Amino acid sequence: MNQSSPPAPLLQSQFDTLRRVGQTLARSLDFPQIVREVLRTLEISGNLSRGMIGVVDPDSGDLSVHAVHGLEPDEFLAVRYRAGEGLIGKVLASGRSCAVARLGDEPLFLNRLGLYARELPFIAAPLHLGGALQGVLAVQPDEPDDGLLDERVRFVELLASLIGQSVRLALEVTQERQSVDEERDPQRRAARHRPGFANLVGHSSAMLRIFDQIRMVAKWPTTVLIRGETGTGKELIANAIHFNSPRARGPYVRLNCASLPENLLESELFGHEKGAFTGAVTSRKGRFEMADGGTLFLDEIGDISPAFQAKLLRVLQEGELERVGGGRTLKLDVRLIAATHRDLEAAIDTGDFREDLYYRLNVMPIVLPPLRERLEDLPKIASHLLDRLGGMQRRPLRLTAGAQRRLSQHHWPGNVRELENCLERAAVMSESGEIDADLIRIDKPRERATRRSGSGTTPATPSALPVSSIARGSDAGGSEDGIDPGGEPSERERVIAALERAGWVQARAARLLGMTPRQIAYRVQILNIEMKQI
């Protein structure tokens, strides 16, 4: 018999399969339901088992697996293929079908799904629509190769052509539903319909520089490290980056690393398998898996232990992880944004933070200035906060000139968070909605301590180091290094004074200030100090 003419039983089986697939595609536009039923039909009627349908991500160009007959969603949702990776990636790169008579003989086979039988053939065909590659259909015939592989490839290509059109239509409907759902999500709606960074208020040069950094970094999947004192709005920066990025439609997952002990942090981030530890009664996805295709924001990254830092570093380097108690490697596509108020350079020098993790995180640093260094933004920030408080209290709120002067005279060691608490307290005490200076109640002990030591009561950050750290070289004052503590100069002035005293040699200035060379080099950079050549 000529191999180009399939035997009658095979032709009849293929005809029945086409008819049933057509009926399935006509019944629904629910994409997940469609692909599950189609793959089930291929196994029952077409003797094509272990079916897989993957769809090309229009942003990255990678193929993500959307349905696998015989596997639960949590067993394949993390599987992705780049062009050229394995047999699926080969189809993705060439746009042409790929067939193997015996899968175990093919060196390109990656077995990421852990599903296919090595002694059976394997067929993968592209899903095209209008000349564009939309995805891949992969199946495995139930029996070893009987010499009719070419005929089966042509049949799978016919199925792919039929499925491709319906998959495209179903995806458009699914995306439209997601858009409607997003419109109902206040956070996403605000990010899209209100001005660029609606919750980020300020017109100072420091904040305008921050806005420019956000706009530039949002376009790319680069890792971002947001630094600044507690209460400066690091989470708002992370929100702005995600919702103004190409991943805005993807998941946005957040975790405060300081809120969990180390043993729970590993399970929370990486997930766990059933029985991995006492109390693990079911398998559970971790935050990394939840964020696949989107953004993961890790706040207080500086608080994790060195032991856990090593585990996190591996995930960031490899782009893959294993759940606690599991043996299957999951490939992930996650954009990481981290934040901390700690001085990581000092933590590296003391051995509390890994230097290799620091460089992995510090690809694109964004340093938020404390409120006391941008007091020109205070009226606008106060007005923004009062608008929000007024909405909660359902009445207009306003500050008198005296209240504004009172606010501008405070040092704000607690930054915007302290300002918000202060205004909310004043709004509660105001019967008319007008807030005068006598209603501005500031924490007196904190204010007196701040006044005594200048900027020295705040935690050490890249933008504001304590006076005690800067003047550590002499307990008696600043005469030895040329710094007068009584004048309460800014940090920039202190560093410049030390550099001048040291002849603009950074290592010598670092010793005068009680810093390490790494710390002073970082401050020269973020404080925009122009080094003189002497």
pLDDT tens track for 355-386: 999 999 999 999 998 988 888 888 889 888 89
Pairwise CA distance, residues 516 & 469, whole Å: 11
Nearest alpha carbon to residue 219 among 198, 244, 193: 244
Q: Is residue 455 part of a domain?
A: no
Is 150 in the same domain as 275? no
CB of 382 closer than 8 Å to CB of 404? yes
Query: Over the stretch 185-244, which tens digit does the pLDDT of each residue have?
Result: 555 554 444 434 566 888 888 888 898 899 899 989 899 999 998 888 899 899 999 988
Which of 324, 347, 366 terminates a domain? The answer is 366
- Residue 151 belongs to a domain: yes
**Which residues, in sequence order, are CB contacts of 62 under 8 Å at separation 6+?**
56, 80, 81, 82, 83, 333
Tell me which residue has tokens 């067993």: 75
> Which of 348, 366, 384 is a domain's end point?
366
**Residue 397 CB coordination number (10 Å):** 23
| Whether residues 470 and 515 fall in one domain | yes
Angle between helix 8-27 and helix 31-46 axes, rounded to 10 deg? 160
Task: Mark whether 55 and 171 lie in a shared domain.
Answer: yes
Residue 3, C-beta contacts closer than 8 angstroms, at least 6 positions apart? 147, 148, 150, 151
Q: Which three-class secondary structure string do you get for 135-165?
A: EEEEEEECCCCCCCHHHHHHHHHHHHHHHHH
Count structural domains, the chain: 4
Q: What pLDDT is recorded for position 298?
A: 93
Of 317, 351, 366, the domain-final residue: 366
Asked, for residue 3, whether it belongs to a domain, the answer is no
The Cα–Cα gap between 10 and 452 comes to 90
Shared domain for 334 and 200, answered yes or no, is: yes
Position 339 scores a pLDDT of: 94
Same domain for 252 and 384? Answer: no
Do 276 and 400 fall within a single domain? no
Counts for the chain of helices (H) and strands (E), in that order = 20, 15
Q: Decide if 534 is inside a domain.
A: no
Residues 197 and 302 grouped into a single domain: yes
What is the pLDDT, as a whole number, of residue 100? 93
Mark whether 228 and 298 lie in a shared domain.
yes
pTM (2 d.p.): 0.52
Is 61 within the bounds of a domain? yes
* Ranges of residues in the chain whose predicted pLDDT is under 70: 1-6, 26-31, 59, 74, 129-131, 165-199, 279-280, 443-489, 533-534
Q: What is the pLDDT of residue 31?
A: 65
What pLDDT score does 139 carry? 93
Asked if 496 and 445 sit in the same domain, the reply is no
Give the pLDDT confidence of 256-301 residue by residue, as tens digits: 988 787 778 888 888 888 877 776 678 788 899 899 889 999 999 9
Q: Give a yes or no: residue 362 inside a domain.
A: yes
DSSP state of 2: -
User: Do 20 and 42 share a structural domain?
Assistant: yes
The whole-angstrom distance between residue 518's C-alpha and the CA centroid of its chain comes to 28
CATH code for the domain in which residue 290 is found = 3.40.50.300
414 shares a domain with 474 = no
Q: Report yes or no on 1 lying in a domain.
A: no
* Host domain of residue 26: 8-180
What pLDDT score does 194 carry?
40
- Whether 280 and 319 share a structural domain: yes
Residue 457 inside a domain? The answer is no
Buried b (16+ CB within 10 A) or exposed e, 235-262: bbbbbbbbbbbebbbbbbbbbebeebee
CATH number of 432's domain: 1.10.8.60
Q: Which CATH number goes with the domain that contains 151?
A: 3.30.450.40
